[in-house]
Amino acid sequence: MCYNTLVNPQMIQECIHTHGMERATEVDDQQMMALHILCANPHVTGDCIRAYLQLAPGAANQQDSEGMTPFQYLCRSGVNFFDERSFSSLVALWYGCMS
């Protein structure tokens, strides 16, 4: 779901509520969490990431097997919402989760 081109905040919220926090913070063989995959999705919106971080803030600074955080994947994915005015509030939320 996190790499779906149509992913939206409601999908994120429903998945976490349905499957619980354990599923939201579960890691795969590469130590990637769903947030890593969501942030690598070139179709993701800031609202999707906000929804995830508000429900699972501990995922913000999780490193995968290559030492990359979800935010690094987000920066690398070339998502075009970096130009939105809301990006600064997303960054503030992200760093708030990490402290």
What percentage of residues in the chain have a pLDDT greater than 70?
Answer: 86
Sole residue written with tokens 């998945």: 15
The per-residue pLDDT for range 5-46, each reduced to its tens digit, is: 999 999 988 988 888 878 778 888 888 989 999 999 888 888
Domain parsing of the chain, residue ranges: 9-98
What pLDDT, on a 0 to 100 scale, did the predictor assign at position 36? 92
Residues, the chain:
99
pLDDT at 3 over 70: yes
What is the chain's percent helix, strand, coil content, to nearest 5?
65, 0, 35
How many CB atoms are located within 10 Å of the residue 96 CB? 11
Structural fold of domain 9-98? 1.25.40
This prediction has a pTM of 0.78
Tokens of 19: 């499957």
Q: Give SS3 for 39.
A: helix
The torsion angle over the Cα atoms of residues 87, 33, 58 and 55, rounded to 10 degrees, is: 70
